[in-house]
């Protein structure tokens, strides 16, 4: 039996009966609570709706501050709710922040400190599992890749819908789906429920890049980030309207929060996941409890408090390991028992080898532990412009942070088996749960490792990526080269350079830069897996297999690595091993579209050899499944078109190849294939058009052999 996953016996010490007080939204005074006597009825059959809006700043909530953006739909709920003015995330990063919310613990307990290289192990109890054990139907509707089921968050959910599309590990941005799509799926699920339910809705839109749809891209043309927030608010109207129309709000707890904020250039930080100032740690938090008098709450609270609050409202005994506290006493005007709120930002440490950032908030003081210490009175100085570290005795703050870390780490250590076998320890170290080493293996840090000192390198990297997106390829590459010369442990830069080289047809340069990165950061999984993937695409199969095998031994939860290992075996001609790896992918993620495409390709090759119609059917079945999951998967369109072509259905084949070119104009295969199909059907004019288009768009990126092949095809189409 898993630790903590036992059915907790509810001890009824006393029963406190509250009277319902139906306070209208017009009664929201906006006054902060002192000592309140809230009236609501604790009961265990409330529905629970958790909405997390990714990258949502505290000041982009209309009820807090309407000068940037208006959020009328969220405000409408907020005016009936408890609105926390000082709610803090523990991490300025998506995955760990959501783990904090769902487990009621901090990264010091569950061990997850970044989006990559970590997975929530099944032995950690989540609110979904806790409620499922208590007969709730459970669902999650996910907006983007950082919360993919592969990272362990799906446990306890009857439905974990993360069908947002296909993620490519070499992309600069996460794959996502729009809020309206996510919300529609959630509404459809809720409408089918006939017993109490818990649903978590994750909306990713405010995350970079800021691409709000019309009319928000026009209304907020000078502040596209706020346009994304306005769009999300508009989408939520459908959800809240549905709950009201179905009379479910009177029996549903609604919790709305952001996982972290966005710096937007403040303090020199462009986005998030670097510093831990209030612009990325201070988040909106709204708790709607039916039949209560609403108001603002001033007390400091945190994400870990959400789980125990749900337990309190539902009259369930909270699991003893939770590190947060119920917000109900805070709403009633009491202080949290543990005043310190821990936070960290370890992405720069884990991916660059720079100094780790940790700290805590206690009452009005915020301490940031870096080589160059920072101390702020965040009540008097909420924008953290006046660093008091130079005028204060810091020994007390360092001691308190040390004690806080030990206290929060203590439960985590106790949750492990006292006897960890050698293989388990090796696995835990590879996932970052035990070892605290950065990519560079550094332990001691000085002022030159401080994030404030190294901020120019961070911004130079971001500037280079912006230059690339504007078509200034050489400038981007040169800028990134200077960054790794100054900071050889900056793993992300090697990866970004490899992406640029690959996207511009310089695959050998991509391989070269990844080899250089690995020489500077031996054993780094991020670089090793990317090198294995690119070697596979470059046809250097034996080395690719060797590297990817090592990666699967260290990280056995990433379907992309197993998928590319399968592709490498496929290219080698070892279909049996390819199928074995593809099946492992589906064990990890049954909705991983690329692997269905790869199965389709494998069956299509088999059909070409034996002309078995059953095998052809399997090929089409898998191509169709891939496109059902991700209609924009251009490689699957190319594969299905090839299948149509083998049946001489040129019209259907050409339709799919045209779609593939529209989706990804940089993908060479469909240009060749559609041109050849037109040649086959005698339409040399159309064939020539596609060959010429390929030459115009991609000639310089093609290998020499493919350039010569294209030239021959162009000649054939003209004669």
- What is residue 80's predicted lDDT score, i.e. its pLDDT? 96
Complete DSSP assignment for 623-682: HHHHHHH-TT-HHHHHHHHHHHHHTT-HHHHHHHHHHHHHH-TT--HHHHHHHHHHHHTT
- Distance separating alpha carbons of residues 206 and 56, to the nearest angstrom: 7
How much is the average pLDDT of 408-432? 41
User: What pLDDT score does 41 carry?
Assistant: 78
Q: Which of 4-18, 181-195, 297-311, 666-680 has the lowest mean pLDDT?
A: 4-18
CATH, range 25-334:
3.40.720.10
Give the C-alpha separation, 547 to 533, whole Å.
9
Check residue 127 and give its pLDDT. 98
Looking up tokens 């288009």, which residue turns up? Answer: 693
Residue with tokens 């339910």: 197
> Which of the four pLDDT bands, split at 50, 70 and 90, describes residue 367?
very high
The mean pLDDT of the chain is 89
Q: What is the pLDDT of residues 233-273, one digit of tens each?
A: 999 999 999 999 999 999 999 999 999 999 999 999 999 99
Nearest alpha carbon to residue 230 among 72, 97, 111: 72
CB 535 within 8 A of CB 555: no
3-state helix/strand/coil string of 348-369 = HHHHHCCCCEEEEEECCEEEEE
Q: For residue 259, give the 3-state DSSP assignment.
A: coil
Residue 16: per-residue pLDDT: 28
pTM of the shown model: 0.85
Average pLDDT score over residue span 24-38: 51
- How far, in Å, CA of 101 to CA of 327, rounded? 13
Q: Which CATH class is domain 349-427?
A: alpha beta
Residue 161 to residue 191: CA distance in whole angstroms: 16
With a cut of 90, say whether residue 459 has pLDDT above it: yes
Q: In what order do the strands lie in the sheet with 341-345?
A: 341-345, 357-362, 365-369, 374-377
Per cent of the chain over pLDDT 90 is 82
Burial 251-261 (b: 16+ CB within 10 A, else e): ebbbbbbbbbb
Strands 47-53 vs 82-84: parallel, antiparallel or unpaired: unpaired
Mapping DSSP onto H, E and C, the string for 35-50 reads CCCCCCCCCCCCEEEE
Once rounded to an integer, what is the mean pLDDT over residues 594-599?
96
Q: How confident is the model at residue 507 (pLDDT cuts 50, 70, 90)?
A: very high
Instruction: State whether residue 108 is helix, strand or coil.
Output: helix
**3-state secondary structure labels for all residues of 524-575:** CHHHHHHHHHHHHHHCCHHHHHHHHHHHHHHCCCCHHHHHHHHHHHHHHCCH
Residue 446 reports pLDDT greater than 90: yes
- Residue 39: pLDDT band with limits 50, 70, 90: low
Whether residue 423 has pLDDT greater than 70: no
Spatial separation of the C-alpha atoms in residues 171 and 352, rounded to whole Å: 19
Task: Identify the pLDDT of residue 42.
Answer: 83
What's residue 35's pLDDT?
59
pLDDT per residue as tens digits for the range 615-652:
999 999 999 999 999 999 999 999 999 999 999 999 99
Q: Which pLDDT score is estimated for 111?
A: 94
Mean pLDDT of the 296-323 span:
97
Q: Give the Cβ contact number of residue 439 at 10 Å.
A: 25
Q: Which residues contact 203 (CB under 8 A, 6 or more apart)?
A: 51, 52, 53, 54, 143, 179, 182, 183, 232, 235
Is residue 4 pLDDT above 60, yes or no?
Answer: no
Lowest mean pLDDT among 32-46, 138-152, 184-198: 32-46
What residues form DSSP beta bridges with 203? 53
For 88, the enclosing helix (H) or strand (E) is strand 87-88
| pLDDT tens sequence across 699-718 | 988 889 999 999 999 999 99
pLDDT over 50 (residue 412)? no
The domain locations on the chain are 25-334, 349-427
CA-to-CA distance for 105 and 63, rounded, in angstroms?
29
Supply the DSSP symbol for 31. Answer: P
Look at strands 295-297 and 282-283 and give their pairing.
unpaired
What is the pLDDT, as a whole number, of residue 390?
Answer: 87
pLDDT top residue among 590 and 653: 653
């Amino acid at each position: 039996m898993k630790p903590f996953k036992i059915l907790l016996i509810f001890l009824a010490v006393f029963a406190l009966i509250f009277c319902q007080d139906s306070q209208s939204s017009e009664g929201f005074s906006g006054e902060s609570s002192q000592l309140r006597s809230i009236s609501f009825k604790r009961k265990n059959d409330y529905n629970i709706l958790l909405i997390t809006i990714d990258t949502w700043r505290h000041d982009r909530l209309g009820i807090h501050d309407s000068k940037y953006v208006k959020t009328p739909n969220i405000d409408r709920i907020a005016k009936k709710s408890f609105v926390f003015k000082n709610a803090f995330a523990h991490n300025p990063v998506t995955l760990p922040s959501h783990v904090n919310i769902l487990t009621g613990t901090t990264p010091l307990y569950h061990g997850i400190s970044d989006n990559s290289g970590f997975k929530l192990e099944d032995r950690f109890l989540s609110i979904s599992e806790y409620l499922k054990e208590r007969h709730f139907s459970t669902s999650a509707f996910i907006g983007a890749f950082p919360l993919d089921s592969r990272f362990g968050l799906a446990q306890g959910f009857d439905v974990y819908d993360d069908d947002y599309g296909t993620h490519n590990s070499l992309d600069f941005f996460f794959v996502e789906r729009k809020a309206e799509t996510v919300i529609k799926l959630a509404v459809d699920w809720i409408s089918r429920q006939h017993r109490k339910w818990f649903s978590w809705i994750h909306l990713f839109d405010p995350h970079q890049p800021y691409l709000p749809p019309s009319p928000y891209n026009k209304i907020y043309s000078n502040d596209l980030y706020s346009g994304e927030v306005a769009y999300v608010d508009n989408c939520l109207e459908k959800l809240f309207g549905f709950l009201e129309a179905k009379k479910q709000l009177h029996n549903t707890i609604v919790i709305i929060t952001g996982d972290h904020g966005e710096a937007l250039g403040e303090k020199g930080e462009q986005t998030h996941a670097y510093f831990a100032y209030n612009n990325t740690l201070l988040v909106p938090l709204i708790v709607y409890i039916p039949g209560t008098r609403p108001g603002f709450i001033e007390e400091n609270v945190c994400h870990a408090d959400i789980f125990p609050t749900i337990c309190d409202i539902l009259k369930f005994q909270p699991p003893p390991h939770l590190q947060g506290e119920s917000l109900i006493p805070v709403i009633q005007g009491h202080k949290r028992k543990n005043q310190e709120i821990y936070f960290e930002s370890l992405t720069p440490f884990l991916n660059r080898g720079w100094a780790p950032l940790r700290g805590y908030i206690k009452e009005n003081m915020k301490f940031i532990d870096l080589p160059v210490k920072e101390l702020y009175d965040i009540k008097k100085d909420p924008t953290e412009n006046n660093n008091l570290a130079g005028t204060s005795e810091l020994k007390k703050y360092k001691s308190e942070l040390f004690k806080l870390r030990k206290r929060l780490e203590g439960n985590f250590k106790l949750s492990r088996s006292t006897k960890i076998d050698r293989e388990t320890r090796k696995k835990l170290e590879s996932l970052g749960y035990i070892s605290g080493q950065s990519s560079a293996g550094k332990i001691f840090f000085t002022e030159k490792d401080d994030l404030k000192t190294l901020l120019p390198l961070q911004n130079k990297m971001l500037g280079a990526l912006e230059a690339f997106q504007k078509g200034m390829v050489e400038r981007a590459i040169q800028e990134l080269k200077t960054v790794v010369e100054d900071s050889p442990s900056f793993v992300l830069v090697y990866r970004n350079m490899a992406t640029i080289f690959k996207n511009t047809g310089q695959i050998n340069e991509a391989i070269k830069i990844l080899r250089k990165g690995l020489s500077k950061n031996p054993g780094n999984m991020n670089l090793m897996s990317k090198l294995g993937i690119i070697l596979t695409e470059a046809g250097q199969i034996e080395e690719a297999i060797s590297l990817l095998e090592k990666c699967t031994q260290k990280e056995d939860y990433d379907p992309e690595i197993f998928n590319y290992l399968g592709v490498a075996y496929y290219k080698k001609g070892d279909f049996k091993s390819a199928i074995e790896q593809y099946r492992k992918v589906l064990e990890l993620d049954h909705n991983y579209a690329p692997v269905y495409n790869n199965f389709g390709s494998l069956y299509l090759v088999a059909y070409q050899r034996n002309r078995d119609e059953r095998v052809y059917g399997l090929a089409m079945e898998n191509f169709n499944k891939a496109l059902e999951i991700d209609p924009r998967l251009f490689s699957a369109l190319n594969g299905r078109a090839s299948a149509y072509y083998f049946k001489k259905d040129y019209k259907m084949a050409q339709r799919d190849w045209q779609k593939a070119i529209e989706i990804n104009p940089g993908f060479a295969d469909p240009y060749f294939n559609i041109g050849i199909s037109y040649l086959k059907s005698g339409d040399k004019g159309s064939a020539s058009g596609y060959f010429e288009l390929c030459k115009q768009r991609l000639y310089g990126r093609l290998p020499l052999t493919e350039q010569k092949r294209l030239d021959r095809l162009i000649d054939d189409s003209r004669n």
